[in-house]
Amino acid sequence: MNIVWFMRMKRWVQNPPSPRRVKFIFGIILIAAIIFGVEYAGYWPDWATAERMGRRF
């Protein structure tokens, strides 16, 4: 690991995030997991799916 990551970890341990911020981050992760699950199950609507475009020359 890089020394910069150790310094970030040290700062995070000395000044941890508030419980409100931790709940916010877990909420975002939960929403992303729900969207992934819905898409994986096949219930995601076609209008919300991005189409891949080929390269244009």
Does 35 reside within a domain? yes
Does 1 reside within a domain? no
Verdict on whether the full-model pTM lies above 0.95: no
Tell me how many domains the chain contains. 1
User: What residue numbers bound the domain in which 33 lies?
Assistant: 18-51
Does 12 reside within a domain? no
User: Do residues 38 and 44 lie in contact, with contact meaning Cβ atoms separated by under 8 Å?
Assistant: yes
Task: Give me the pLDDT at residue 45, please.
Answer: 86
Could you give the CA distance from residue 52 to residue 55 in angstroms, rounded to a whole number?
10
Task: Give me the pLDDT at residue 10, please.
Answer: 93
Q: Three-class SS of residue 11?
A: helix
Q: Which of 33 and 55 is assigned the larger pLDDT? A: 33
| 18-48 pLDDT tens trace | 999 999 999 999 999 999 999 999 898 888 8
| Residue 57 DSSP class | -
